[in-house]
Amino acid sequence: MVSGSVGTGTALGAVLLSLVAVPAQAASGAPGSGRVASVAAAGLGAPDDAGLRSVLRSALAQGAPGAMVRVDDAGTVHQLSEGVADRATGRAITTADRFRVGSVTKSFSAVVLLQLVDEGKLNLDTPVNTYLPGLLPDDRITVRHVMSHRSGLYDYTNDMFAQTVPGFESVRDKVFSYQDLVDLSLKHALTNAPGAAYSYSNTNFVVAGMLIEKLTGNPVATEYQNRVFGPLGLTDTSYVHPGTAIAGTHANGYLTPDAAGAALVDSTAQTVSWAQSAGAIISSTRDLNTFFSALMTGQLMSAAQLAQMQQWTTVSSTQGYGLGLRRRDLSCGVSVYGHTGTVQGYYTYAFASKDGKRSVTSLANTSNNAAVLTTMAGTLESAFCGKSSKATRRASAPSATPGERYEDIAPDVARD
């Protein structure tokens, strides 16, 4: 099952939201404020379609039923896919298929919160307990700490999914409240003092969802639709919690069991109630590219808040985390901005250039497979660095493409 195309079309429409700008927070104490990663799309190598195809085929060889990638490059669209969307029917996967985006949802939640900052309803450096009295065990935990994964709140998914398939089946149809999920986290002590260290935790963006609902008086689904999905014309994108179905043509997800050689588990139908505002959005490659292009070109918030979103905390030598936004530094010296996503049966990479002129989303319809997770990161190299990245990777191997052993769910559990 192979497909691919390159075509030209109308550049992504500029959709401007009417927001009230407020002064930026002082950056002097912000983590990573001394580093500014910047690259113009004009300096990017042309997308390497052969390299992209090779990445997708490698993912299939490593156990993914299907894999796909879409590159939007200033009006030119590259679309490639390999394998199947549905193992039962054999239907080929295509870039038009919808899928569960996992933690890419965090970027949407962060956008809503930063819009609320622009509207004067939220302050990044105010304690969360000011808005949600008594919720958290430490009054020093601020909104900024939560959005940058520096709160110290334990990630309850480490316990929930320590055993991959049994953990998933125990929550596949379950409906949690936000409070339920916070309570699971608070069974554990804080992992660090507020603000002291980066520690990725889904609990943070559960709290983000609670803040959205408290400050707007609406469900997160309504705020996503009114503030992002609708204005940007994201017609493939939805938040259906606690519904279990993906509407329209979609890729099925296949969860890899922990036991080597065990049959893949079709994980498509689920509530994703264990994640909600941390990971339950459904979308497509086109819509995610539209979203991140709009984000990086300043269409979703004031310049002041976009700058706050890009105050980086160091994650590794090649990665930083802002406010619901990842930065990845590629082998050719280019930095790209977006988010990764894992939800049972789906791995997503969705990133854009600094100027938003090139955006890339890739998907493999499996998870709990570190080889596939690492391989799919290669779509960023081929899409943003082009053919030149091959020589760069050879010269700097093996560090140019570090292993991706930790997912966005159960982030403390190493995957094989």
Q: What is the pLDDT of residues 318-374, one digit of tens each?
A: 999 999 999 999 999 999 999 999 999 999 999 999 999 999 999 999 999 999 999
Cβ neighbours of 304 (radius 10 Å)? 16
Return phi, psi of residue 377, to 5°: -60, -25
> What does the alpha-carbon distance between residue 341 and residue 214 come to, in Å, rounded to a whole number?
26
- Predicted confidence at residue 8, as pLDDT, reads 58
3-state SS string for 199-266: CCCHHHHHHHHHHHHHHHCCCHHHHHHHHHHHHHCCCCCECCCCCCCCCCCECCCEECCCCCCCCCEE
245, exposed or middle or buried, with CB in 10 Å at 0-12, 13-18, 19+?
Answer: exposed
**List of the chain residues with pLDDT < 70:** 1-2, 8-42, 388-402
- Known catalytic residues are 103
Q: What is the pTM of this model?
A: 0.90
- Predicted confidence at residue 402, as pLDDT, reads 61
| pLDDT tens for each residue of 120-132 | 999 999 999 999 9
One-letter amino acid identity for 169? Answer: E
Say how many CA atoms lie within 13 Å of 63 toward its Cβ.
24
Mean pLDDT of the chain: 90
- Predicted confidence at residue 148, as pLDDT, reads 98
> What does the alpha-carbon distance between residue 61 and residue 66 come to, in Å, rounded to a whole number?
10
For each of the domains in the chain, give its residue range(s) and CATH number, in order of start. 49-385 (3.40.710.10)
172, exposed or middle or buried, with CB in 10 Å at 0-12, 13-18, 19+?
Answer: middle
- Predicted confidence at residue 3, as pLDDT, reads 73
